[in-house]
Copies of this chain bind each other. A is one copy, B any other.
Amino acid sequence: MSFPQAFVDPSSVAVVGATEDRAKWGYWLATGALAGADRRQVWLVNRRAAQVLGQSCRPTVDDLPQAPDLVALCVPSRDVLPVVRDALAKGCRAFLSITAGLGADEAELAALLRESDARLIGPNSLGLFNAATELRLAWGNFTPGRLAIVSQSGQLGSEIAGLGARAGLGVSRFYSVGNQLDVGAVDVLESLVSDEHTGTVALYLESFADGARIVTALGALRRAGKHALVLTTGASEGSRLLARSHTGSMTSALDVVDAACRAAGALRVATPRELVDAARVLDATAPPGGRRVAIISDSGGQGGIAADIAGDRGLRTPVFTEPLQARLRDLLSNAAAAVSNPVDLAGAGEADLQLYARVTELVAASGEVDSIVLSGYLGCYGEDSPSLKDAESAVIDRLGRRPRTDASHVPLIVHSMSAASPAVARLREHRVPVFDTIDAALGALGHVTRLGGQPRPAPLTVRTEAAVPAPGYWAARTFLTALGIAMPEARRVTDAAGFAAACASLRPPLVLKADWIAHKSEHQAVRTGLGPDTAAAVFREMYERLGPGEYVVEEQDTRPGVVELLIGARRDRDFGPTVTVGHGGVLAELWHDVCVELAPVDRRTAAGMLDRLRSRRLLDGWRGQPAVDLDALIDAVVAVSEAIAATTGLADIEVNPIRVGPEGALAVEALVIPRAEDVVAQAACEATGVNGHRETTEEQEASREHVH
């Protein structure tokens, strides 16, 4: 269902519950609607007043001369259903419900809307705003600009708008989607893809029931040249309690949100302030192509602090090459100046303010960095010394005139000790992002730099759906081996004679496992290091203890220089299939060194996952060991990711550890868990759209119903 034009540029609006009481919503929506009265018909509806704000008023929607294109509801909660019924009868098909607290009436409202093919934003919306169409149905005022705000929490949306306004960043559209009874955030996102007035999208959501569709919409925004910044909660027990959701797995819900953002070319930020700071940079410049930043300051102290904070925010301050340093030395005759990065003008700026521009241009042209930060006194010279005012304006104009559209453009960010000097205002006019703390400048740059990539294209090859394996280790082995993942030579046995025969055909040391026990270590259902003299006794002991059943005897991997990792795959309730790789073995849970992505992943994404591990260095050869077989490891990650994506009957695949040496990767323990029956039944239709997270599935629709 497409997004109704009535929520974008309605031909007529009725505000039901319009009033002159400034403490009430009906006042703000009525004044806001009237501000667009030269563009569209505006009706005010109030059961008791004949006039509101100098406009004549009708008691009900039915009394209006025709059906309004959009009906805004600011009435007591008990009146919502009657008013909607009345309006539907009149022919209205689009509603905005500021009113909240409908309780049991929500279900009836939903049914009414469905029957009539009508759409509603809310209940519990804090309104909507569209600068381009002069549509203002919200509390407060908005500064027009290029940031679209889509928020499940109206107040957080307002906070973002307020912080933006204070920093000179305006709003293109504002949609507070409230309880999302009908219209969801994802509907709004989809409608923004083609909005020429929107440059950056701010999204606040507490739950991602429409996860797969949201990823698709965010990816479409990115491909349309717009950036999306995502704010959510769930990093703490407190916020999870508050959101009444909890996942008790190795990867937190936020890890998966981050993975979804990476897949879509979007970025998660942690606070409204981080969001607005990043949006300010995006409003002025494209994201840098990489993490290398040059720091230019007129104070060694400030340059040093900036370099430290850059590192903390994921940026690098590479030492300049000798030729660049030599050219900078020529420029800065000052003996106290530093030229290696950070550059410290050490007072040279005061003598010749053009040096700020000359150094910036030289560094930008060098190709040695992807972005430049000026930190310190620029912006204060003219304020403190009137004689320097013109020179400061001149250098700011020169900095502001740098081209920002060519491919080689190196973005410039300024931290000025002055918050609001005329020079700072002039930087803003030139659309140079300027911040009053180095924390904000580098925080924003760090975030924006992570947006440099494009959305990840869906891998083309997805295996055809495999049968869900039977329970037990042997079946898991067979399943993984079919995926191309190497496992040790093994035999199935059920008695001592079979065990002896198996041992004779395998190379010791051997490992004995009870096939049917999932958590083998806890139940002493695995024994390693079996040699010819001990094997029989070990089998006897385990058989007597655990009883008859299928046992697996395996060759033990004793290769030297092996690193243990884990590969996992899980079907996330919101976002669908995911794959995880991390440091494995007995301390995996302690170090929690894992990386998760939406599945399936291609080889390049899998390699990127390994690069993000803190234990990455182990794979390159630790303490003089040879490097491990990365290709084999990457193959295994890709294979597991494709398996979870293609095999809709699977809930979970765990390979821990997978032992990777200089030659090959060997999975030595594995668990494959099917989905609970009822879930599988719901998801049957998913098999057609096999690349999981790119589609909305009925299952996800169903789970959305569960959540709300």
Q: Per-residue CB proximity of A426-443 to B under 8 Å, as 1/0?
A: 000000000011111000
Q: Which chain B residue shows the least CB distance to A153? A: B301
Q: Looking at the complex, which one of B241, B271, B521, B590 makes contact with A319 (CB distance below 8 Å)?
A: B241
A312:B270 contact, CB within 8 angstroms? yes
**Is A676's CB within 8 Å of the partner chain B?**
no
User: How many residues belonging to A are interface residues under a CB distance threshold of 8 Å?
Assistant: 93
B615:A243 contact, CB within 8 angstroms? no
Q: Looking at the complex, which one of B247, B439, B617 makes contact with A300 (CB distance below 8 Å)?
A: B247
* Segment from A184-192, A302-310, A488-496, A688-696 that makes contact with B: A302-310
B300:A246 contact, CB within 8 angstroms? yes
> A342 to B340, alpha carbons, bound, how many Å?
48
Q: Per-residue CB proximity of A368-403 to B under 8 Å, as 1/0?
A: 000000001100000011111000000000000000
A586:B623 contact, CB within 8 angstroms? yes
Q: Looking at the complex, which one of B239, B300, B308, B418 makes contact with A270 (CB distance below 8 Å)?
A: B308
- Complex interface residues of chain A between 581 and 618 (CB less than 8 A to chain B): 586-587, 590-591, 614-615, 617-618
Q: Which chain B residue shows the least CB distance to A616? A: B590
**Is A500's CB within 8 Å of the partner chain B?**
no
> A82 to B298, alpha carbons, bound, how many Å?
29
This protein's copies in its complex: 2
> A44 to B239, alpha carbons, bound, how many Å?
63
B301:A437 contact, CB within 8 angstroms? no
Q: Which chain B residue shows the least CB distance to A254? A: B308
Q: Given A271-B437, A308-B270, A591-B591, are A159 and B242 also a contact pair (CB < 8 Å)? A: no
Q: Given A237-B319, A617-B590, are A153 and B302 also a contact pair (CB < 8 Å)? A: yes
**Is A155's CB within 8 Å of the partner chain B?**
yes
Question: What's the minimum C-beta distance from A74 to chain B, rounded to whole angstroms?
Answer: 14
Question: What's the minimum C-beta distance from A141 to chain B, rounded to whole angstroms?
Answer: 10
Q: Looking at the complex, which one of B204, B242, B312, B614 makes contact with A338 (CB distance below 8 Å)?
A: B242
Q: Given A22-B385, A319-B241, A338-B245, are A298 and B155 also a contact pair (CB < 8 Å)? A: yes
**Is A272's CB within 8 Å of the partner chain B?**
yes
**Chain B neighbourhood of A557, CB < 8 A:** none
Q: Which of A23, A100, A204, A298 has the most CB of B within 10 A?
A: A23
Question: What's the minimum C-beta distance from A518 to chain B, rounded to whole angstroms?
Answer: 16
**Chain B neighbourhood of A624, CB < 8 A:** 522
Q: Per-residue CB proximity of A53-79 to B under 8 Å, as 1/0?
A: 000000000000000000000000000
Q: Which chain B residue shows the least CB distance to A21? A: B387
Q: Which of A158, A242, A388 has the most CB of B within 10 A?
A: A242
Q: Looking at the complex, which one of B163, B298, B377 makes contact with A437 (CB distance below 8 Å)?
A: B163
Q: Which chain B residue shows the least CB distance to A589? A: B623
A437:B272 contact, CB within 8 angstroms? yes
> A130 to B335, alpha carbons, bound, how many Å?
32
Q: Per-residue CB proximity of A501-532 to B under 8 Å, as 1/0?
A: 00000000000000000000110000000000
B156:A233 contact, CB within 8 angstroms? no
A377:B23 contact, CB within 8 angstroms? no
> A273 to B23, alpha carbons, bound, how many Å?
36
**Is A344's CB within 8 Å of the partner chain B?**
yes
**Is A367's CB within 8 Å of the partner chain B?**
no
- Complex interface residues of chain A between 196 and 254 (CB less than 8 A to chain B): 204, 206, 231, 233-239, 241-243, 245-247
**Chain B neighbourhood of A312, CB < 8 A:** 235, 270
**Is A641's CB within 8 Å of the partner chain B?**
no
**Is A101's CB within 8 Å of the partner chain B?**
yes
**Is A484's CB within 8 Å of the partner chain B?**
no
Q: Which of A233, A376, A586 has the most CB of B within 10 A?
A: A233
A338:B300 contact, CB within 8 angstroms? no
**Chain B neighbourhood of A376, CB < 8 A:** 155
Question: What's the minimum C-beta distance from A23 to chain B, rounded to whole angstroms?
Answer: 4
Q: A238-B341, A272-B305, A273-B437 are in contact. List 4 more A-B contacts (CB 8 A).
A: A23-B385, A100-B336, A242-B340, A273-B438
Taking beta carbons and an 8 Å cutoff, which residues of A are in contact with B? 21-23, 100-101, 103, 139-140, 151-153, 155-156, 158-159, 162-163, 166, 204, 206, 231, 233-239, 241-243, 245-247, 270-274, 295, 298-305, 307-312, 317, 319, 335-336, 338, 340-342, 344, 346-347, 376-377, 384-388, 417-419, 436-440, 521-522, 586-587, 590-591, 614-615, 617-618, 622-624
* A-B CB proximity, top 4 nearest: A153-B301, A238-B307, A233-B304, A246-B300
Of the A-B pairs whose beta carbons lie under 8 Å apart in the complex, a sample of 11, sorted by A's number, is A23-B387, A155-B299, A156-B305, A162-B418, A231-B305, A233-B301, A233-B305, A235-B311, A238-B295, A270-B308, A273-B438
